[in-house]
């Protein structure tokens, strides 16, 4: 069945694209489009052409799966040139999302109409590239340099109604888009309107220095990314060069970026964040349970944030606390959070009121008897959790899913405190729960498949990125984080300082370094965790008590004005000589001769310790695929998306290189901490990667 067809309605030629799911511009679509346009132009009875797409959306872009492979002709610029050069008007009829190459095809048309619900955008920067088919040259000519830069550098979708105001869309039409497009074309034909070619317009040049100012304006937000800055170069070419020269410049930049490690990483993440929601091996007949109401235990930081997630998704929430005072405090925090969002203008007051109305506070477990899902977010203490789950077992209806938000405790042990282990699992949110996208869904040994399918479905419903993981201390994210923290703690006593380690990881692309993150989260949280596992730590880890010493000074991080750093009233950090002295004194007392620890060593010990643990996690089946680990780290810990996640990054570095470094640190730091994971060693010796193994 052809993906592009041509038909006639009176004197109007109709080009229809039908390439589900999103009418991507595959080779067949490009060839079909070229041929259909030629057919319409050759037909004397056709006065104008309409380009239309079947299914849920107009063309959503090039077929990203073709990237990295030799481009099969015809290439898109050739097809769009034939459209723009056409001597008959071509009208693009847009519904759904006209994105990337889709919008570029529409810009090569002579007129554009859209439904009010449609959206347009040039999201290429999110794939580490820039528009490669005239978007950076035509859009500035159509709507001006500033508007074009805002769209191209952000990559954000723009509602058709706004795009109409900007000048991208000529007319917003209601109802039957195809019929409206044909009528629009007939009017143009009756008026003998000539094709209007965007490339013939001039891009209104801005004041000198405009582009450098624009580069400065995105420096913070786009730190580390290549594509947004290269997109500015391409738009500057549109303002300074003739169209053909600008197109050549755009292609050069596009070609450079599409081959870049950053773009390969961002394209990997694009597919991984979609693949991660699919549970490998889940029988197709397993359906998630219906979740229409939720009970949450604990109205503290986590419980309150989780409650907001469900209220935001329109689900009624029963919020339980041990006493009225805690309940009120929790509700006030939620109210303040919403009010803050309203004051920023990103939430309407009535929306806030609707969401608050969905939150029903309670002090009684009996109110949980009809809920479909309970999420426990109480104190991180196994005894307390067992008591809670025993109560839930007694109160909740059959089939209710009972989940714990624990960040590292054993779900199997919690499940054993009920008579319905099949209904029990972990749903580990990341703080702040109403902001962080990651949700680690922890399936217990006895968790029923439809229960973890339910947790994955719920994750999507509340707009999280759910990842299914297995039971172990710290699951995936925190288990790998513990290795990074261990190495960073060791490097402090060996000679590095917090600000040096933080800078290395910040420059790698993390939003903050590990010590700045600890200060933000609260050092007392890590201190409590350290105490709870102290007897499991090695002698060296036990003796490395820099964190304890800082906490003993009452320095818990930002919330107390000082931690590893000291903070001014705006919470801006500065290195504290007192901490430097404390660390140096600690090394002396430990008999460790301090040395200069190089940045490369810091990066390798921080990242390779995590990657090595990730290999173990894969081999144990705690994560089903390397992409699950990548998504956990990108969405849970800010691993830079342009590096693809720890496992994708490991493949780009090469497992052989990492394996040799692990052997080096095994000698330097000790066999107890640096043993190559068998899977990593095997793949390294086979010259494979985590992704090439599959
Ligand atoms: N290429 C290939 N597959 C794509 C695709 C694309 N452009 N877009 C989506 N898919 C697949 C996706 O992997 C999933 O597959 C299914 O379609 C549904 O997607 C020349 C070079 C359009 C807003 O960046 O933003 O044009 O999991 O789950 O939530 O200058 O898809 O079912 O197997 O996301 O309704 C520019 C990317 C490309 C748009 C729909 N375009 N896509 O969201 O569905 S570069 C983009 C999206 C380019 C030009 C350059 C979203 C969507 P599966 P979905 P959705």
What secondary structure, in 3-state letters, does 97-122 show?
EEECHHHHHHHHCCEEEECCCCEEEC
- Domain assignment present for residue 31? The answer is yes
User: Ligand 1, residues 17, 19, 20, 22: which to mutate, most atoms within 8 A of Cβ?
Assistant: 22
Instruction: Give the model's confidence band at 205: pLDDT under 50 very low, under 70 low, under 90 confident, else very high.
Output: confident
Q: Give alpha helix (H) positions in 443-556.
A: 449-461, 477-494, 498-508, 514-521, 523-532, 539-543, 546-552
For 623-631, what is the mean pLDDT? 98
Atom 55 of ligand 1: nearest residue by CA position: 22
Q: Are 16 and 72 contained in the same domain?
A: yes
Atom 49 of ligand 1: nearest residue by CA position: 101
- Domain assignment present for residue 84? The answer is yes
Give the domain CATH number at 397. 3.40.50.720
- Domain assignment present for residue 487? The answer is no
Q: How many residues does the chain have?
A: 694
For 290-305, what is the mean pLDDT? 95
Pocket lining: 134 vs ligand 1, CB cutoff 6 Å: no
Q: Are 123 and 250 contained in the same domain?
A: yes
Q: Are 451 and 523 contained in the same domain?
A: no
- Domain assignment present for residue 655? The answer is no
For 525-544, what is the mean pLDDT? 92
Give the domain CATH number at 566. 1.10.1040.10
Q: Are 512 and 571 contained in the same domain?
A: yes
Domain termination residue (choose one: 569, 590, 611): 590
**CB 80 within 8 Å of CB 104:** yes
For 305-323, what is the mean pLDDT? 96
Instruction: Return the number of other C-beta atoms located less than 10 Å from residue 673's C-beta.
Output: 19
- Domain assignment present for residue 629? The answer is no
Residues 446-468: tens digit of each pLDDT: 999 999 999 999 999 999 999 99
Q: How far apart are CA 403 and CA 451, in angstroms?
A: 10
pLDDT at 70: 87
Q: How far apart are CA 475 and CA 632, in angstroms?
A: 10
Residue 211 scores a pLDDT above 70: yes
- Domain assignment present for residue 693? The answer is no
Residue 383 scores a pLDDT above 60: yes
Instruction: Give the model's confidence band at 488: pLDDT under 50 very low, under 70 low, under 90 confident, else very high.
Output: very high
Q: Are 449 and 532 contained in the same domain?
A: no
Q: Are 519 and 403 contained in the same domain?
A: no
Pocket lining: 601 vs ligand 1, CB cutoff 6 Å: no
List active site positions: 104, 124
Pocket lining: 250 vs ligand 1, CB cutoff 6 Å: no
- Domain assignment present for residue 618? The answer is no
Atom 27 of ligand 1: nearest residue by CA position: 274
Pocket lining: 124 vs ligand 1, CB cutoff 6 Å: yes
Nearest Cα to 307, choosing from 373, 363, 395?
A: 373
pLDDT at 693: 60
Q: Are 149 and 58 contained in the same domain?
A: yes
Provide DSSP, 585-599.
HHHHHTT----PPPH
C-alpha angle with apex 261: 257 to 265, nearest 5 degrees?
Answer: 105
pLDDT at 532: 85
> 69: domain range?
4-259
Instruction: Give the model's confidence band at 408: pLDDT under 50 very low, under 70 low, under 90 confident, else very high.
Output: confident
Pocket lining: 100 vs ligand 1, CB cutoff 6 Å: yes
For 182-205, what is the mean pLDDT? 94
Residue 623 scores a pLDDT above 70: yes
Domain termination residue (choose one: 590, 625, 647): 590
Percent of the chain scoring above 70 in pLDDT: 100
For 158-181, what is the mean pLDDT? 97
Atom 51 of ligand 1: nearest residue by CA position: 60
Pocket lining: 133 vs ligand 1, CB cutoff 6 Å: yes
User: Ligand 1, residues 27, 64, 139: which to mutate, most atoms within 8 A of Cβ?
Assistant: 64
Q: How far apart are CA 496 and CA 489, in angstroms?
A: 9
Count up the domains in the chain and report the number: 3
pLDDT at 692: 87
pLDDT at 206: 75
Residue 694 scores a pLDDT above 60: no
Q: Are 439 and 520 contained in the same domain?
A: no
Residue 183 scores a pLDDT above 80: yes
Q: Are 167 and 310 contained in the same domain?
A: no
Q: Are 307 and 456 contained in the same domain?
A: yes
Q: Taking the mean position of all CA atoms in its chain, how far away is CA 490?
A: 31
pLDDT at 224: 97
Atom 13 of ligand 1: nearest residue by CA position: 271
Strand order in the sheet with 294-297: 359-362, 317-320, 294-297, 373-376, 401-404, 424-429, 438-443, 465-469
- CA 603 – ligand 1 centroid, Å: 34
Instruction: Give the model's confidence band at 157: pLDDT under 50 very low, under 70 low, under 90 confident, else very high.
Output: very high
- Domain assignment present for residue 215? The answer is yes
Q: Are 302 and 410 contained in the same domain?
A: yes
CA dist 220 to 17, 229, 411, 605, Å?
Answer: 40, 12, 40, 27
Ligand 1: atom nearest CA of 64 is 1
Residues 589-620: tens digit of each pLDDT: 999 999 999 999 999 999 999 999 999 999 99
Q: How far apart are CA 170 and CA 160, in angstroms?
A: 10
Q: Which residues pair with 566 in a beta bridge?
A: 562, 574
Residue 292 scores a pLDDT above 70: yes
pLDDT at 207: 83
Give the domain CATH number at 225. 3.90.226.10
Percent of the chain scoring above 90 in pLDDT: 93
Q: Are 328 and 374 contained in the same domain?
A: yes
| Three-class DSSP category at 317 | strand
Q: How far apart are CA 528 and CA 499, in angstroms?
A: 23
Residue 525 scores a pLDDT above 90: no
Domain termination residue (choose one: 575, 590, 605): 590
- CA 60 – ligand 1 centroid, Å: 6
Window from 196-205, 349-358, 639-648 with minimum mean pLDDT: 196-205
């Amino acid at each position: 069945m052809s993906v592009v067809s041509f038909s006639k309605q009176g004197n109007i030629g109709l080009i229809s694209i039908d390439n589900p799911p999103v009418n991507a511009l595959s080779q067949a679509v490009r060839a079909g489009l070229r041929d259909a346009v030629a057919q319409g132009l050759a037909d004397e009875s056709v006065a104008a052409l309409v380009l239309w797409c079947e299914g849920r959306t107009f063309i959503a872009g090039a077929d990203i799966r073709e990237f990295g492979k030799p481009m099969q002709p015809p290439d898109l610029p050739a097809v769009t040139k034939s459209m723009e050069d056409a001597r008959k008007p071509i009208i693009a009829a847009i519904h759904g999302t006209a994105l990337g190459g889709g919008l570029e095809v529409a810009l090569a048309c002579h007129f554009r109409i859209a439904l009010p619900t449609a959206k347009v955008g040039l999201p290429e920067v999110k794939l580490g590239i820039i528009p490669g088919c005239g978007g950076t040259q035509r859009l500035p000519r159509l709507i001006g340099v500033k508007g074009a830069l805002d769209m191209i550098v952000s990559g954000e979708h723009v509602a058709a109604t706004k795009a109409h105001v900007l000048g991208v869309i000529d007319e917003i039409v209601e109802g039957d888009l195809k019929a409206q497009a044909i009528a629009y074309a007939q009017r143009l034909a009756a008026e003998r309107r000539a094709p209007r070619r965007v490339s013939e317009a001039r891009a209104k040049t801005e004041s000198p220095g405009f582009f450098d100012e624009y580069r400065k304006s995105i420096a913070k937000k786009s730190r580390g990314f290549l594509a947004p800055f290269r997109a500015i170069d391409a738009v500057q070419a549109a303002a300074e060069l003739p169209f053909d020269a600008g197109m050549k410049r755009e292609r050069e930049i596009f070609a450079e970026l599409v081959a870049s490690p950053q773009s390969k990483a961002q394209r990997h993440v694009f597919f991984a964040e979609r693949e991660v929601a699919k549970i490998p091996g889940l029988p197709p007949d397993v359906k998630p349970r219906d979740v229409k109401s939720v009970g949450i235990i604990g109205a503290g930081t986590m419980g309150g944030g989780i409650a907001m997630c469900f209220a935001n998704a329109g689900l009624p929430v029963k919020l339980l606390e041990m006493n009225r005072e805690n309940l009120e405090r929790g509700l006030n925090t939620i109210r303040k959070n919403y009010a803050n969002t309203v004051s920023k203008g990103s939430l309407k007051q009535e929306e806030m009121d609707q969401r608050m109305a969905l939150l029903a506070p309670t002090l009684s477990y009996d109110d949980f008897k009809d809920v479909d899902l309970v999420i426990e977010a109480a104190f991180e203490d196994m005894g307390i959790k067992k008591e809670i789950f025993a109560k839930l077992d007694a109160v909740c209806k059959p089939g209710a899913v009972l989940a714990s938000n624990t960040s590292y405790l054993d779900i199997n042990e919690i499940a054993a405190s009920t008579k319905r282990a099949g209904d029990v699992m972990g749903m580990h949110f990341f703080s702040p729960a109403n902001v962080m996208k990651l949700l680690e869904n922890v399936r217990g040994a006895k968790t029923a498949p439809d229960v973890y399918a339910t947790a994955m479905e719920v994750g999507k419903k509340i707009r999280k990125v759910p990842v299914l993981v297995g039971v172990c201390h710290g699951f995936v994210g925190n288990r790998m984080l513990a290795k990074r923290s261990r190495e960073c703690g060791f490097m402090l006593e060996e000679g590095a300082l917090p600000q040096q380690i933080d800078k290395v990881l910040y420059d790698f692309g993390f939003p903050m370094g590990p010590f700045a993150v600890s200060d933000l989260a609260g050092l007392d949280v890590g201190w409590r965790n350290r105490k709870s596992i102290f007897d499991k730590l090695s002698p060296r880890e036990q003796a490395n008590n820099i964190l304890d010493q800082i906490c003993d000074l009452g320095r818990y991080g930002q919330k107390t004005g000082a931690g590893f750093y000291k903070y001014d009233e705006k919470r801006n950090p500065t290195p504290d000589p007192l901490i430097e002295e404390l660390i140096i004194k600690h090394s002396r007392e430990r008999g460790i001769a301090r040395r200069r620890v190089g940045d490369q060593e810091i990066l390798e010990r921080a990242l390779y310790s995590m990657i090595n643990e990730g290999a173990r996690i894969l081999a144990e089946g705690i994560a089903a695929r390397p992409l699950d680990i990548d998504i956990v780290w990108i969405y849970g810990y800010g691993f830079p998306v342009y590096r693809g996640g720890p496992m994708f990054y490991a493949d780009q570095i090469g497992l052989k290189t990492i394996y040799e470094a692990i052997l080096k640190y095994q000698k330097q730091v000790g066999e107890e901490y640096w043993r190559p994971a068998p899977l990593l060693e095997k793949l390294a010796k086979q010259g494979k990667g985590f992704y090439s193994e599959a």
